[in-house]
Amino acid sequence: MTVIFSKKCEYGMQAVLYLAAQDKGTVVSSEEISRVLKIPKEFISKILQSLRDSGIIFSTKGKSGGFGIAKDPSEIKLIDIVEAIDGLEMFNSCVLGFPECSPETPCPVHDSWGALRTQAYEMLSVETLDKLKEKTLNKIRTL
């Protein structure tokens, strides 16, 4: 169940983590990403295009074409993927959707959500893909 991110963002993070776990320079087809991660092919293709447009991944055309990581995995943070797909508005808006929610006019969960939101943003801003390679590979083996 998604609490913060869209399904598109969840799949995007999974796909980028998968690509980052490959050997440097490896190009992976969208069909392989779809099959391994169990993501509908049409959906992953659109997500990969968004990630390519943001510069996180690159694509190559042709028979042996596919997708790969555009930068060193140590330079890509999870927050970069979130920003490319969902944007960062969730870290600045009311979780309940109340307009003008602020410390002066808080919603019922303002203080609790604010702490969680800050903690989530900080974690996503620190975690780089290179630090997550082994955990990603271990998780993929269980799919």
Give the model confidence (pLDDT) of 89-138 as tens digits: 888 888 888 998 888 999 999 988 888 889 999 999 999 999 999 999 89
Considering the entire predicted model, what is its pTM? Answer: 0.89
Residue 1 in this model has a pLDDT that exceeds 60? no
Q: What pLDDT digit, counting tens, does each position of 18-46 carry? A: 999 999 989 999 999 999 999 999 899 99
Residues 6+ apart with CB under 8 A from 114: none
| Largest separation between any pair of C-alpha atoms in the chain | 58
Helices (H), the chain: 7-20, 30-37, 41-53, 78-85, 110-126, 133-141
Report the distance separating Cα 72 and Cα 88, nearest Å.
23
Q: Please report which confidence band the pLDDT of residue 3 belongs to, taking 50, 70 and 90 as the band edges.
A: low
Report the distance separating Cα 46 and Cα 12, nearest Å.
10
Q: Which residues pair with 57 in a beta bridge?
A: 69
Question: What is the b/e burial string over 131-143, where b = at least 16 CB atoms within 10 angstroms of the residue's CB?
Answer: ebeeebeeeeeee
Q: In the chain, what are the domain boundaries?
A: 7-141
Architecture of the domain spanning 7-141: Orthogonal Bundle (1.10)
